[in-house]
Amino acid sequence: MKLVTSRTAALATVLAVAAVPALAACNNNKSGATVVGVDYPRSDTDFWNSYIKYTPQFAKQLGLSLKTTNSQNDIAKLTANVQTFISQGVKGVAMAPQDTAAVAPALDQLAAKKIPVVTVDTRPDSGSVYMVVRADNRAYGEKACQFLGTKLAGKGAVVMLEGDLSSINGRDRTEAFNSCIKQNFPGIKVYGEATNWDGATAAQKLQTDLTAHSDIKGVYMESSFALSGTLQVLKQKGLLVDPKDPKHVFVVSNDGIPEELSDIAAGKIDATVSQPADQYAKYALYYLKAALDGKTFKPGKTDHDSTIIQVRPGVLEDQLSAPLVTADGGTYGGLTSLKNSDTSLWGNHLH
């Protein structure tokens, strides 16, 4: 894949800093590749397993050598893994902290060692990072709201299977969905259920809600972690039926994994927001390499269909594109979706 060599077409200053010079020899290992550390946040979801698969592919393209760890959704493990990276002499670290508040001490340790950090998918609540690589998670909630609100014609009730509200992703998606429903579809009741990104918890709470409330016609899953359990519960309730059947419950997910795309084709779920696992891996490593090359970036449009924003002093975030995906590629609440068969979707290329 071609290496991106500019960040912002509109700003000459950004174009100037984005040319990629050769890495200094002092950053190289014996093979000539710069050693960086990548902590995988978990390996129990299809999305993160896809990210794990893509990461070494892009590392090779960028001339980087990897040291990897897996923190298994545990901040204590992530902190210990940071210590391991420091002892291994890595030159930069990419991580995806799931607890975005508790990661600050680990970031401070890396900053003290002058080891640049790129966070992927999540943005730490505090602490120093060179770049945040994620999609606009508020847009995830808004897109799910517009789709479900349109399909339900502004009436009925939906269950929102929330992620972990200690994560900025869970907060962003939840707050945006609630706000959008309140503003645009006030006739829809939302049953918000905290799940801590756990599939079994999500399934149990969905089953309870469906038993208690006969007016539920939609489900918003904040991640594909809840996909299998949601389909199982709907099947048990006799609600896993064709989208044209009056009993159909409209389901929107977040991630864009291959299973979601095939389930949309089969009419089992109705939409997802495709979170770019491939681009997360690519640009996390791109920005680590850029940090070691001494580059700087500014807010503005990029040349890879994203926007760099400043989230607080000294912290920039590259918000990658995450399209709504449906079976018909239709327009919902002014949002144009991609068809589930669209070849631009990473979920259609993963083998």
At 217-272, the pLDDT tens digits run 999 999 999 999 999 999 999 999 999 999 999 999 999 999 999 999 999 999 99
Domain count, the chain: 2
- Residues 270-310: pLDDT tens digits? 999 999 999 999 999 999 999 999 999 999 999 898 999 99
Domain contains 158: yes
Is residue 258 in a domain? yes
Q: For residue 6, is it within any domain?
A: no
Q: Is the same domain home to 265 and 308?
A: no
- Provide mean pLDDT across the span 68-89: 97
Q: Pick 312 or 166 by higher pLDDT.
A: 312
Which are the contacts of 311, defined by CB distance < 8 A and separation ≥ 6? Answer: 123, 132, 317
Question: Residue 32 has what pLDDT?
Answer: 66
Residues 132, 149 share a domain: no
Dist CA 326 CA 266 (whole Å): 11
The verdict on 336 and 225 lying in the same domain is yes
What does the block give as tokens for 91? Answer: 């030159």
Contacts of 344 (CB under 8 A, 6+ apart): 338
Q: CB within 8 A of 229, min separation 6: which ones?
A: 199, 200, 202, 203, 206
Using CA atoms, how far residue 62 sits from 23, 56, 286, 350, in Å, is 11, 10, 7, 20
Rounded to 10°, the helix 104-112/75-88 angle is 10
Residue 24 has pLDDT above 90, yes or no: no
Same domain, 122 and 154: no
- pLDDT for 138 beyond 70: yes
Q: What angle do CA 110, 80, 127 make, to 5 degrees?
A: 35
Residues 157 and 236 in one domain: yes
Question: Judging by beta carbons within 10 Å of its beta carbon (0-12, 13-18, 19+), is residue 26 exposed, middle or buried?
Answer: exposed
Statement to judge: residues 43 and 183 lie in one domain: no
Q: Tell me, yes or no, whether 114 and 40 share the same domain.
A: yes
Domain identity same for 70 and 103: yes
Give the three-class secondary structure for 25.
Answer: helix
- Are 90 and 205 within one domain? no
The span from the CA of 17 to the CA of 8, in Å, is 10
Whether residues 268 and 165 share a domain: the answer is: yes
Mean confidence (pLDDT) of the chain: 90
Tokens of 105: 């001490």
Write the CATH number for 174.
Answer: 3.40.50.2300
Q: What is the pLDDT of residue 29?
A: 54
Residue 34 belongs to domain spanning:
12-136+276-320
pLDDT band at 351 (very low <50, low <70, confident <90, very high): low
Q: Please tell me the distance from the alpha carbon of residue 136 to that of residue 225, in angstroms, as a whole number.
A: 19
Confidence check: pLDDT of 25 > 90: no
pLDDT, position 31: 55
The radius of gyration of the chain's CA atoms, rounded to the nearest angstrom, is: 21
Q: Is the pLDDT of residue 12 over 80?
A: no
Give backbone dihedrals phi and psi of 322, rounded to 5 degrees, phi first.
Answer: -140, 90
pLDDT at 194 over 60: yes
pLDDT at residue 143 is higher than 70: yes
Same domain, 159 and 206: yes
Domain match, 313 and 164 both: no
- Residue 207's nearest CA partner among 184, 175, 241, 231 is 231
Contact 240, 234 (CB under 8 A): yes
Percent of the chain topping pLDDT 70: 91
